[in-house]
Amino acid sequence: MLIDFHMHLGNCFRQEYPSGRRSPSIHQALDWMNRNAVDMAALLPLESPEVCWGYYLSEEAVAQRDLYPERFIAFCCFDPRMRQVPALVKTFVESYGCKGFGEALNGLAFDDDLNKVVYAACADHGIPYVFEINTSFCWDEVGLPRLEACLKEFPSLAFCGHGPGFWSAISGDDPRVGYPTGPITPGGAIDRLLDRYDNLWLDLSAGSGYNALSRDPEFTRGFVERHWNRMLWATDYFIANQQIPQVQWIRDLDVSDEVREAISSGNAKGLLGI
Ligand SMILES: [Zn+2]
């Protein structure tokens, strides 16, 4: 079974209409899943003004899940600067059946007090939190000290890391930006944090996740051996006809059936309680 832990629909490219990129419709997403043997996908709303030119609302993700409830899982996401975020999380988890929070992409520091209100609400409801770290979103410094402080402060919350500013920390020589290439040097923050905190998870989606796991195949072999039980197969599919290298990556991964099944769906099922 294959579960995509990270997909966005909505209308995130409305400024490019009619000739530019298009967000996929629910039907295009389903067609793409069928053609690539993806059984289920988590729909992650985008509700912060910095992230893109449009919003993908939690209500939309819920309504789309309700069309094909056996194929889609709805998350909720709210900007931490809104009032009453804990009440929104409670309603969307308890009444709308949302199984996670994210994708968090707000213009605050990772350990901003407003973000901590969201972490506490997600911890209260036992749902995982999917975030991107980037130079201006949920930002952090070399060594990810702000993320580490939150892993420590909210030990029952599953933090699922993603994005260039997260994955560049796989290497000891972390430039904090972009998609660094070439061999990974020991001493990266991600290995250290995974060893120290059992509430950190790895979202393998997007160019950032694929780049981190393909730039140094020898390192990747050991990294997968050490951390397969914290890896979540995911795509960040959010553009119609997007190329997704993760599909071939999981097929080609040289691991046991048990490990492949855990990365493909088992870890996600455990985290989402499905
Ligand atoms: Zn995303």
209 Cα–ligand 1 center, Å:
11
Report phi then psi at 102, rounded to 5. 140, 170
7 Cα–ligand 1 center, Å:
6
48 Cα–ligand 1 center, Å:
12
Separation of alpha carbons 80 and 27, rounded Å = 31
Q: What is the pTM of this model?
A: 0.97
Cβ distance 112 to 76 under 8 Å? no
218 Cα–ligand 1 center, Å:
27
Can you give the three-state secondary structure of 235-272, one letter per residue? CCECCCCCCCCHHHHHHHCCCCHHHHHHHHHHHHHHHH
Residue 106: its H or E element? none
Digitized pLDDT (tens) for each residue of the chain, 274 residues in all: 999 999 999 999 999 999 999 999 999 999 999 999 999 999 999 999 998 888 999 999 999 999 999 999 999 999 999 999 999 999 999 999 999 999 999 999 999 999 999 999 999 999 999 999 999 999 999 999 999 999 999 999 999 999 999 999 999 999 988 999 999 999 999 999 999 999 999 999 999 999 999 999 999 999 999 999 999 999 999 999 899 999 999 999 999 999 999 999 999 999 999 9
